[in-house]
Chain A
Amino acid sequence: MKPVTRIHSRTAVLADENIDTDRIIPARFLTTTSREGLGKLCFNDWRYLPDGADNPDFPLNRPEAAGCAIVVAGRNFGCGSSREHAPWALLDFGLQAVLCSEIADIFRNNALKNGLLAIVVDPAEHRWLLDHPGVELAIDVAGQFVELPDGGRIKFQLEPFARHCLLEGVDQLGFLLQRADAITQYEHQHEEKAA
């Protein structure tokens, strides 16, 4: 994973609560065996009209949302399935961060492992962000704050290890592989007990 330290972008807002992983990427597209190229399918059934044209009611299709890398989403974003295709699709679509007052556990975990900043902010600040689409934000991973245009800051917390991995581009599988001896030792004790 490439390090992620700071993201600077205008925001787009997807205000709906409970945007589930089926909305982020419908299940019928999960027959892929690759993690590439899912951006064109991101939000497919919301983003396109039945005739394939862009749906003007989909907030990310509006001209002012073009190029936005930060989405402010309604509460409980990413609920539903464990499909990692959801963060893969969002990243490939061009998003780098989701700000929300609550994010579903598995989605948040998957997102952070892929360098998509899934950030929980407190409800009052979340409300303000929902009400101000297009605001210019800078997200600082090391400092754990979102900087507003007037210099004001919204604080957030990332799980310390996830933050460390984002900043340093740590390979988590490599981290686990380095603990092979401890794993082997655990297996010996554990399997003896079970026998």
Chain B
Amino acid sequence: MTAPRTMTPRTLFEKLWDAHQVAPETPDTPAILYIDLHLVHEVTSPQAFDELRTRGLKLRRTDRTLATLDHSTPTLPAGPDGERPYATPAAKAQVAQLETNCREFGVELHGWDSADRGIVHVIGPELGATRPGMTIVCGDSHTSTHGAFGALAFGIGTTEVGHVMATQCLLQRKPKTLAIRVDGALPAGVGAKDLVLHIIGQIGVDGGTGHVIEYLGPAVEALSMEERMTVCNMSIEAGARAGLIAPDETTFAWLKGRPRAPQGQAWDAAVAAWQTLKSDEGARYDREVRIDASQIRPTVTYGTHPGMAIALDAPVPAARNAVEQRALDYMQSEAGRPMQGTPVDVVFVGSCTNSRLSDLREAARVLRGRHVAAGVRMLVVPGSEAVRRDAEAEGLHEVFRAAGAEWRVPGCSMCIAMNGDLAQPGQLVVSTSNRNFEGRQGKGARTVLASPATAAASAVAGRIADPRAYLTEAAA
């Protein structure tokens, strides 16, 4: 069945929104929005399960709910006694609580015994549970990642996690739309992470507040699925509700054959439907921004939020106010000097932003035949068990180990630093994660966000380094 053609051209966001309204919004009430997929992890769900229990409610659609363990989990393997090295008894209890809750409420959990366990935003797509046209939520702000598939995906709080568990719906006001058109092509050695850091640097850490961003244009169409996920992942770092990229042949090819993707005739029908999921000619956005990809260079952060981003060889801008000065002081960044050359203590490759196979390959390409500089600690944490298997099958773990890096078990790890993987006060971390807030990677730790290539190059150099020299040499 096809929807009747409307006269008004619609954006991709409007198509997704319209298709999921159980009831439209009115002046007095928000829309009731249906949620196709609810992703669950141990940190933001226990109080919601308790709410169901208190009210004597069942979880409405267990077939639309998928759980995993990722935030509080250790990334060192279990000991000979089978005990996993949890950071605290509370972390262990939290994981056990999710196991209990999933058993009690009938939720599929990708736990320790699953070959598919991993970071929630890595495994959803891997399993083909994330598909174009869906609405997807999770008690996690980086749910925006799934927008890379043309799904409306956003983070929610625990009260709303309970709403979705009990009703499969949310009360939502329609957000505004922001089109970010990226023209031209990214130069060699410049990737999706550089692009999204550049975008946030341009529009600001609150530049997307109240909006759903749709990324468009040739430089976006040229991105792989993994790269699109990196871009959509960080939409929240500009304050946006969600990020979106229209599905295309790249999307379909990536999804085909995944465990939860439709098969056979159902696949063909699905692709035909997904091909309509793009903004119509003449569709209006509330705001539009244009970015020239050809001007972007390897980009890093120099302050304490992701909007404080700049090309690594460009001078750090002077503080415009006391808060920015405090951020520079905290980071020990100096106005007028580039970040390139800053001594590094720790390098982290991982997180829902950059822990997929292509990210690990990018880091390995720099590290192959080289060694992490003396005094630098480097952690490489794959995003999922599947990524770990694939990486090990092509020997990437040996490249990392030979270079002196630690190869860990999948999880969020040092991105959120709640599992014991953390930096010490004052240490400078070049990190492929998504947030450089004060203390995010450990109390007093200083975070510089970067691409996997920049992170790996900085590990080798012992200072923040331009990856392009290393990538060229590796290719030669």
Which residues of A come within 8 Å of B, CB atoms? 15-18, 20, 22-23, 26-28, 30-35, 45, 74-76, 79-84, 87, 102, 104-106, 109-110, 113-114, 159-161, 164, 172-173, 175-177, 179-180, 182-183, 186-187, 190, 193
Q: Complex formed: what's the CA distance from A75 to B321 in Å? A: 13
Q: Any chain A CB within 8 A of the CB of B431?
A: no
Give a binary string over B34-72; 1 marks a CB under 8 Å from any A CB, 0 the rest: 100000000110110011000101000000000000011
Contact A113-B159, Cβ < 8 Å, known A22-B435, A45-B439: yes
- Does B323 contact A33, Cβ atoms closer than 8 Å? no
Which of A27, A81, A102 lies at the interface centre, i.e. has the most chain B CB atoms within 10 A of its CB?
A: A27
- Does B27 contact A74, Cβ atoms closer than 8 Å? no
Q: How far is the CB of A36 from chain B (nearest CB, A)?
A: 10
- Does A102 contact B206, Cβ atoms closer than 8 Å? yes
Give a binary string over B314-334; 1 marks a CB under 8 Å from any A CB, 0 the rest: 000000010100100000000
Residues of B within 8 A of A76 (CB): 205-206, 209, 239
Residue from the list B46, B167, B418 in contact with A28, Cβ < 8 A? B418
Q: How far is the CB of B267 from chain A (nearest CB, A)?
A: 13
- Does A30 contact B71, Cβ atoms closer than 8 Å? yes
Which residues of B come within 8 Å of A, CB atoms? 1, 19, 22-23, 27-30, 32, 34, 43-44, 46-47, 50-51, 55, 57, 71-72, 87-88, 90-91, 93-94, 97, 139-141, 155-160, 162-163, 166-169, 171, 173, 175, 205-206, 209-210, 239, 241, 305, 321, 323, 326, 416-418, 422, 435, 437-440, 443
A-B contact count (CB 8 A): 167
With A22-B435, A104-B209 given, can you name 9 additional A-B contacts, CB distance below 8 Å?
A: A16-B326, A31-B43, A32-B94, A45-B439, A81-B435, A83-B43, A102-B209, A176-B167, A179-B167
- Does B22 contact A159, Cβ atoms closer than 8 Å? no
Residue from the list B94, B209, B439 in contact with A22, Cβ < 8 A? B439
Residues of A within 8 A of B141 (CB): 80-82, 106
Residue from the list B159, B173, B305 in contact with A110, Cβ < 8 A? B159
- Does A27 contact B166, Cβ atoms closer than 8 Å? no
- Does A182 contact B439, Cβ atoms closer than 8 Å? no
Contact A31-B91, Cβ < 8 Å, known A23-B437, A81-B141, A164-B28: yes
Closest to A26 in B: B439
Residues of B within 8 A of A180 (CB): 167
Contact A104-B239, Cβ < 8 Å, known A26-B439, A179-B22: yes
Residues of B within 8 A of A172 (CB): 159, 163, 171
Which of A33, A83, A175, A177 lies at the interface centre, i.e. has the most chain B CB atoms within 10 A of its CB?
A: A33
Residue from the list A82, A173, A187 in contact with B166, Cβ < 8 A? A173
Which of B19, B209, B417 lies at the interface centre, i.e. has the most chain A CB atoms within 10 A of its CB?
A: B209
- Does B167 contact A79, Cβ atoms closer than 8 Å? no
Q: How far is the CB of A174 from chain B (nearest CB, A)?
A: 9
Q: Complex formed: what's the CA distance from A161 to B29 in Å? A: 5
Closest to B97 in A: A33
Residues of B within 8 A of A79 (CB): 205-206, 239, 305
- Does B157 contact A159, Cβ atoms closer than 8 Å? no
Residues of A within 8 A of B50 (CB): 33
Residues of B within 8 A of A182 (CB): 22-23, 32
- Pull 30 A–B residue pairs with CB atoms less than 8 Å apart, ordered by A: A16-B323, A18-B323, A20-B437, A22-B435, A22-B440, A27-B417, A31-B43, A31-B91, A31-B94, A34-B47, A80-B141, A81-B155, A81-B435, A82-B139, A83-B43, A84-B44, A84-B158, A102-B206, A105-B210, A106-B155, A106-B157, A109-B156, A109-B157, A109-B160, A113-B159, A160-B28, A172-B171, A173-B55, A182-B32, A187-B168
